[in-house]
Structure 1
Amino acid sequence: MDENRMLQNLLSLCRIGSISASEAEKQMPALLKQLLLKIPYFQRHPNQIMIHHIREEETKCGYVFALMKASKQTKRTIVLLSHFDVVGIDEYGIGAPYAFDPIAYTDFLKQGNLHLDEESQNDLDSGHYLFGRGICDMKWGIAADIELLHAYSEKRDANLLFVSVPDEERNSEGMLDAIKKMEVLAKQEDLSLDFCMVGEPDISFEQSLESRRLFIGAAGKVMPFFYCVGKETHVGDPYGGLNPNLLSAKIVEYLEHAPAFIDQANGYFTPAPTCLKQSDCKTSYSVQTPYDSYAYFNLMTLSKSIDTIKEQLLACARQAFEEVLRMRDARILQAEQLLNRALPHASVSVNVMSYEELYASCVEQHGSAFQKHMETFIEGLEEADMREMTLAVIKETHRYAPDRSAKIILAFAPPYYPHSGFLEADAPLRKICERFVKKAQKQGERYELNACFNGLTDMCYLGLRDAGAALSLAANFPLWGKHYEVPLEVMRKLQIPFVNFGPDGKDPHKYSERIELNYSLKQAPRLRKMLVDEMMRD
């Protein structure tokens, strides 16, 4: 393993500011091909490097496959999976011009231009860390995979399939398309996709000083989307209506960080939910209260079924609606006592439903004409943020609803990540990782196996334990099968077990993102090869 080559590749990868959905993101496949062509095997077999485009549309970002075939005929194949997009750099402030040049940005920080927390400052002062956007999440993983391919260029006992995709930090469009191409390639080349190694950083607050973690499972995610309809009124008659902002605010209050929505299984647990956006739908000023509002949340899963989560969310919405009405009634009473007179006010009842129920009520009222209209409406939506598109579909559906009273409607929006489930005790990959842990310990490195990677990750699309549960999302997922698709059947067929072996990195998605150089450039690449060796010979 060549430490300097890996560092130079890492710096080259970081210099392209491949923020999700940016033009720079589209430049990454060409750079990856350029780096791969420096490997002797691919110099001899350049056609084994393939660039595909999402949905085969040239305007979409490309992703890269590179197949390094085994020295002797075998079906055994190990996938090296990464993503090359990164999140934005707004938080870098005046450091933004240096964010994609780790050498320059680290020097910039040493000049004291940005305040760092104590741990970050100590790491900077140590001289053992390199800072910059993407260096940890996850361009180190790409550089480490390329270094592995260099190491195996002349001799290997299994096939290696390098896969690097865009859009992981947004909608995972790259991986959702790539997983289908992986199935096609496996059939064409007669490959069995046996294992996958990923190089994401460990983002958990539970990181241990005694040992590092290999992840052999991952949490999933659903995005609950609450559309709230109020009862409009003039601001001069506030009790004559119900502000939908109050409904969405109460849902946020009840759901934000709610322990009841932490999913637990086998001693592992997910982070609590958090609101990603809350807004009303007014587009201009007026003295009419808003008609509708919405809020959507990051909600991670480990073992709960979609149906269980849906019922739990509907119960939360009902509780929120009831509390809003209790507060409203109490304040009307207080105002009447203050003014010593009765105040006219609108009568409002709790009304909570799923998108499926809303849609069914519209079909019942309008029949097939409504269904045809919605199909045309959804097909005609211009490509935009998928949460905004979800809102547009719900609003259009509700426009046909016969019930115009205040209500809360629960739907789901992209992206969806199924949780991976747990590897059985006798699963081949678990046994391989257990052997590796023992060998690594003899070399002074301690690792533990962990079944719950809590960062949102493309690893979730490598398999599917329960296709039926995921399919139950469809009826409450307005964009499902139209502008958004998760290839559930392909995932169910492939079932590729994975292990995540990342760098010694800290603070991904923060302006203090960094890696520790000694372990990340020396020990980790060598130990990753040792783990792949175990996969090849099992």
Structure 2
Amino acid sequence: MKFSDKIYETLKELVAVPSVSGTEKENLASEKIYDMLSNMAYFKENKGNFGIEEVEGDYLKRKFVWAIVNGKQKSKNTLILTGHFDVVGIEEFGHLKSVAFDMEECTKRISQLNLDKDALEDLKSGKWIFGRGTADMKCGIAINIELIRKFSEDQDFKGNLLFLAVPGEESNSEGMVAAVPFLLKLQEKMNYDYCGAIISECSIPQNKNEEFKRLYMGSVGKIMPLFLCVGKETHVGEPLKGLNPNILVSEVNRILENNPDFSDQVNNITTPLPMCLKQMDLKELYSVQSPLYAAAYYNLFTLSMSEEELMNKLKNLALEAFNNVLYDIKNKRERFVKKSGKEFQCIEIEPCVMTYEELLFEVKSKDKNFGDYIKEKVELWKKQNKDNQTIAINIVKETCEKYEDKKPMIIVSFIPPYYPHKYLEGKDEKSKNFIGAIDKTIEYAYKEFDEKIIKEDFFMGISDLSYTGIEKNQNLSNLSSNIVGYGTSYNLPLESLSKLNIPAIVFGGEGKDFHKYSERLNVPYTLNVTPELYKYMIYSLLK
């Protein structure tokens, strides 16, 4: 059987597993991959070279799978091939949901759904196969499995090849986050040196009829600012004697939503504009009293901006919003006085903006048991199946309630998930060697397959590449202090990340329309060319 045919059959088996992210069915995929590895002769003889590990503290008990092939010639150089096996849901497939995980049947029947011109042309060409997970990203997992099989059969290389398949990338990257301490322990135990990592995500065409594929030298980062606004309660009959936090949070949203000042830029790459993901007040029951708390959190992408720089900008924005609200209330009060002919006594309010780190410090200085109190509350919220974002809001609210200075304020923080931006620059010898292998592979692709591959700075879809290391100039203490729930509801191994520093790229086959019913994979390029490019890069690094 040809190598491409082996990959096709493995891909077909993997796609058939309905491993929808955030469900227990992700475990079906990890077990399937583990079984595939178990049946390889190399791992029957080397049982300590592969395994399946549970994601610590995960309520779904999801697992990641790993396997190591050692070359005949010993070396500490270790190349990682990794990807995620979870997929997004299939609701948009409508009456074709029953065939969404059967790539052959889905391809036969996909024209029953409304396809755009590009998707219809791809279908008619016979070069593309449709189905959930074909491109995002079980093709990458299938290629990696068959490469591990091949390299385990001859072991004709110097060093080590490590395969890692993880869950949860489509949710909060729980799998890759959990794999970070594992990779670090493995590195220390076996004296490995991770010379590179390939995240096997597909190249995504940006325009129709592009005559090249993309290799991504980095991945965009993501950080989620939370603004918790504290008002002053009052009766609806006396609105000027209080401060409605909904006004504060609305003004924050007016300024921040789509604000280009918060769009990061490196070279010719510009991140999408910030967007509010949720805005609400925290009042649970109806009454004629104004709310006390309101909150909003946002999606922000980063390429080079430090969290410290971003926090300063967010604090300034919150202060601007607070001043705008007070000025607006003053003007409206004066207009109302003229209209009614009556004077109204208003409360005196000074704008106050704090970071979560500052607030927590004040509370803990007065209450030494506050940390234990919050841990108990977090465990309760977890049992109630609240998501990380809701838990983070609750933590800030509880902290505010313990703060002695009861006054209107805006608390600025970051909430999960956090994805560091990462870019391969060649600052050290290891990175330079990896870039050299990349450049040689690009030349090989053009010479042998007439395939043009361009290096793009950043993969603009969030990826697990973020968890292959963290920039050395990051203020880890400041960052961890302002990520709400860090160490309790959100286990992000920042220290381990800072020690890993693996040069990494996003490079795989070619796919289109991720997360849509028209998701599809370019079969000739992905199954015939991509594996050969992987082999070339592996031999370039492990020689």
TM normalised by structure 1 equals 0.91
| C-alpha distance in structure 2 between counterparts of 1:463 and 1:204, whole Å | 27
Q: Distance in 1 between matches of 2:120 and 2:209?
A: 20
The range that moved more, 274-283 or 98-107, is 98-107
Mapped to 2, the partners of 1:420 and 1:207 lie a distance apart of 28
2:466 to 460, 463, 468: 460
Report the 3-state secondary structure (helix = DSSP H, G, I; strand = E; otherwise coil) of the residue aligned with 1:463.
coil
User: Are the aligned partners of 1:140 and 1:503 in contact in 2 as well (CA < 8 Å)?
Assistant: yes
Structure 2 partner of 1:233: 234
Specify which of 537, 540, 543 is matched with residue 534 of structure 1.
Answer: 540
Which residue is 2:368 aligned to?
368
Q: What displacement does 1:381 show? A: 4.8
* Bigger mean CA offset, 9-18 vs 433-442: 9-18
Which amino acid in structure 2 is aligned with residue 432 of structure 1? A
Alignment partner of 1:152 is 2:158: no
**Cα 1:220–1:208 shift into 2, 3 Å:** farther
Alignment-mate amino acid for residue 382 of structure 1 = K
| Whole-angstrom distance in 2 between the partners of 1:410 and 1:27 | 40
- Specify the code of the residue in structure 2 equivalent to 1:446: K
Structure 2 Cα separation of the partners of residues 24 and 342 of structure 1 = 65
350-359 vs 116-125, greater mean Cα deviation = 116-125
| Structure 1 residues 5 and 253: alpha-carbon distance in aligned structure 2, compared to 1, 3 A threshold | farther
Among candidates 403, 406, 424, match of residue 404 of structure 1:
406
1:84 aligns with 2:85: yes
Matched, 1:120 2:119: yes
Q: Are 2:325 and 1:324 aligned?
A: yes
Greater mean deviation of Cα atoms: 230-239 or 152-161: 230-239
C-alpha distance in 1, partners of 2:405/2:205?
45
User: Is 1:133 matched up with 2:132?
Assistant: yes
| Residues 315 and 198 (structure 1), Cα distance of their counterparts in 2 relative to 1, 3 Å cut | same
CA contact (8 A) 1:467 1:488 kept: no
Residue 266 to residue 111, structure 1, CA distance change in 2 (3 Å): closer
**Distance between the aligned counterparts of 2:236 and 2:59, measured in 1?**
51
Q: Deviations for 1:301-340, whole angstroms, at most 9, x for unmatched residues?
A: 2222221110011112122223333343444445555556
Aligned pairs for 1:110-509 (under 5 A) are 110-112=111-113, 115-155=114-154, 156-157=156-157, 158-202=159-203, 205=206, 209-336=210-337, 346-364=347-365, 366-370=366-370, 373-374=373-374, 376-378=376-378, 381-382=381-382, 384-424=386-426, 427-442=432-447, 443-466=449-472, 468-509=474-515
Q: Name which of structure 1's ranges 428-437 and 100-109 shifts more when overlaid on structure 2.
A: 100-109
Indicate the larger mover: 437-446 or 274-283: 274-283
Shift of 1:380: 5.7
Larger deviation, residues 53-62 vs 413-422: 53-62
CA deviation digits over 1:470-497, x for unaligned, max 9? 3311222231122323223322332211
3-state secondary structure, aligned to 2:422: coil
- Which residue does 2:52 correspond to in 1? 51
Q: Give the AA of the match of 1:389.
A: I
Runs of at least 5 residues in structure 1 that lack an aligned partner in the other structure:
none
Checking the alignment, whether the CA contact within 8 Å between 1:215 and 1:500 is kept in structure 2 is: yes
Pick closer, same or farther for the CA change 1:132–1:251 going to 2, 3 Å: farther
Secondary structure of 2:80's counterpart equals strand
Kept in 2: contact 1:204–1:454 (CA 8 A): no
User: Match of 1:164, SS?
Assistant: strand
Instruction: Give the SS at the match of 2:316.
Output: helix
1:381-438 deviation line (CA, Å, top 9, x unaligned): 5354111111111111111122322221111111222222442277111111111111
- Give the direction of change, closer, same or farther, for the CA distance of 1:363–1:498 in structure 2 (3 Å limit): closer
- Rounded to whole Å, the distance in 2 between the matches of 1:305 and 1:288 is 41
Q: 1:105 to 1:277 in 2, by over 3 A?
A: farther
**Matches of 1:266 and 1:111, distance apart in 2:** 43
Task: Quote the Cα distance in structure 1 between the aligned partners of 2:404 and 2:221.
Answer: 36
Say which is worse superposed, 280-289 or 339-348, in terms of deviation: 339-348
Spell out the pairing of 1:23-62 with structure 2 (5 A cutoff).
23-55=24-56, 60-62=61-63
Cα offset, 1:507, TM superposition? 1.9
DSSP-derived class of the 1:410 partner: strand
* Greater Cα shift, 266-275 or 304-313: 266-275
Superposition deviation, residue 199 in structure 1 = 0.9
Q: How many residues align?
A: 534
One-letter identity of the residue aligned with 2:353: V
Greater shift, 30-39 or 419-428, is seen at 419-428
Deviation at 1:93, TM superposition (A): 4.0
Change (3 A) 1:154 1:441: same
Write the letter of the residue equivalent to 1:354.
Answer: T
- Distance between the aligned counterparts of 1:253 and 1:173, measured in 2? 33
Q: CA deviation at 1:510?
A: 2.6
Report percent identity of matched pairs.
Answer: 35
CA gap of 1:470–1:116, structure 2 versus 1, over 3 A, is farther
Deviations 1:95-116 (A, max 9, x none): 434333333333343123xx33
Could you say what secondary structure the match of 2:444 adopts? helix
Secondary structure in 2 aligned to 1:136?
Answer: helix
Note the aligned Cα RMSD (angstroms): 2.7
TM-aligned CA deviation for residue 188 of structure 1:
3.4
